[in-house]
Amino acid sequence: MVTKVGKHKVNKTFQEINAKIRSGEVVVVTAEEIIGIVEKEGAVAAAKKVDVVTTGTFAPMCSSGAFINFGHSKPGIKASKVWLNNVPAYAGIAAVDCYIGATEPCEDDPLNKVWPGEFNYGGGHVIQDLVTGKKVSLKATAYGTSCYPSRLIEKKVRLNELQSATLCNPRNGYQNYNCAVNLTKKTIYTYMGTLKPKAGNANYCSAGELSPLINDPYYKTIGLGTRIFLGGAQGYVTWQGTQHNPSAARTDNGVPVRPSGTLWVMGDLKKMSPDWLVGMSYQGYGISLAVGLGIPIPILNEEMASYTAVSDSEIYTQIIDYGNDYPNGISKSLGQVSYAELKSGTIELDGKSVQTVPLSSMVKAREIAEILKTWIREGKFLLGEPQFTLPA
């Protein structure tokens, strides 16, 4: 979608902003800081003043993983099954390629046999161990062919010794997410954390006003080629994520009131850091990977300034029962709450005060937005202009 020149009072291009980044004149603020600027000076003045708004989020993102090419051995192998630290990786691709998924548990894991399981080690932890620089044991088995006669290889590998390792996450950075409660009489263990009975707590998982897609609700600047902060390095948005659903209901400011847009992101794992890719164990549920993700939003015009100025009190989500409704595919909302309410520590549900529990780290989200701001100010990070924007 091309914005027509003349529609806005302020018109900037990606190239103009990048020129400012190169010359060091760029003005960058975080998605928290822009709120006060727009409130005080108005969207037009803010758009004139500010070039880039940085966002950030650090939360479990299950749909994550890495493509790894472990190089040819002598004699060669066409691996049909691969394990990394005893965690199975998908090997149904070429001879020495595999995909280690974040949620894959270690083979010996008792899972939920003794409920609730602990899920101490899995794909997410393998990825964190690799970026930490730890040795990871690799085992591959094969049926043997004329060109690749080996049937077994076992070796220790480090990330820097691998032929290539690419983080490739098919669904990250959900634009908004449910607030989960449990209306049953027993404690349940979910991907939204522990939920005590009779709505004992309400868990939510979004960085709200700092969250990337909340700040560009119609994906006007985000698409294939958008350069981002990913796992501590520079990465890219390469597609809309799986389950990307731009048609979710929205408030007047464009922000969806349910989970909606998603991102497919990629980057070079070898450049990433264990501070921003952290293996997670969800009691009774399984393994995940906390991914540090930040997107710079170019303030191309006053419309973008307005979008990025959205605050927690104007962002809403739905309270969903994970005890009975969600497992049965019932998407009934028990009520709508704002992130300002969620972040206050308690919400009201059926006249009762319920403790809220965050799962997305605001401390780390803020740190990402600040790092991204520094990178851009120091000229280390140029904006990537998308080839096309995500479906809106």
Partner 1 sequence: MYSKILTLRFPKTGVSKPTVCHLAKDYGLIFTILKATVLPRKEGIMVLEVSGPKKNFKNGITFLKEQGVLVQNASREVNRNAKKCIHCGACTAVCPTGALVVSHPELSIDFNIKKCSVCELCVPACPTRAMKVHPTSETFF
Q: Is 134 in the site for partner 1 (CB under 8 A)?
A: no
Say which residue the tokens 């409920």 belong to: 115
Looking at 47, 84, 127, 362, which residue binds partner 1 (CB under 8 A)?
362
Q: How far is the CB of 280 from partner 1 (least distance, A)?
A: 4
| Residues 211 and 57 sit within 8 Å (Cβ to Cβ) | yes
Q: How far is the CB of 118 from partner 1 (least distance, A)?
A: 5
Closest by Cα among 372, 174, 194 to 281? 194
Helix (H, G, I), strand (E, B) or coil at 372: helix
Q: What whole-number distance in Å separates Cα of residue 252 and Cα of residue 247?
A: 14
Question: How close are the terminal C-alpha atoms of the chain, in Å?
Answer: 9
Q: Is 213 in the site for partner 1 (CB under 8 A)?
A: no
* HSE (side-chain half, CA atoms, 13 Å) at 354: 29
Closest by Cα among 65, 64, 62, 100 to 79? 100
Q: How far is the CB of 314 from partner 1 (least distance, A)?
A: 17
- Catalytic residue numbers read 147
Q: How many residues sit close enough to partner 1 to count as binding (CB under 8 A)?
A: 33
Q: How far is the CB of 279 from partner 1 (least distance, A)?
A: 8
Measured over the CA atoms of residue 392, residue 209, residue 238 and residue 63, the dihedral's sign is negative
**Cis preceding-peptide flag for 88 (omega within 30 of 0):** no
Looking at 169, 176, 203, 211, which residue binds partner 1 (CB under 8 A)?
203
Residues 28-67 binding partner 1 (CB under 8 A) are 58-60
Looking at 18, 63, 150, 361, which residue binds partner 1 (CB under 8 A)?
361
Choice between 115 and 249, CB closer to partner 1: 115
Q: Is 385 in the site for partner 1 (CB under 8 A)?
A: no
Looking at 127, 319, 357, 369, which residue binds partner 1 (CB under 8 A)?
357
Q: Is 196 in the site for partner 1 (CB under 8 A)?
A: yes
**Token representation of residue 356:** 């809220």
**Site of interaction with partner 1 (CB under 8 A):** 58-60, 116, 118, 120, 193-196, 201, 203, 278-283, 288, 290, 343-345, 355, 357-364, 366
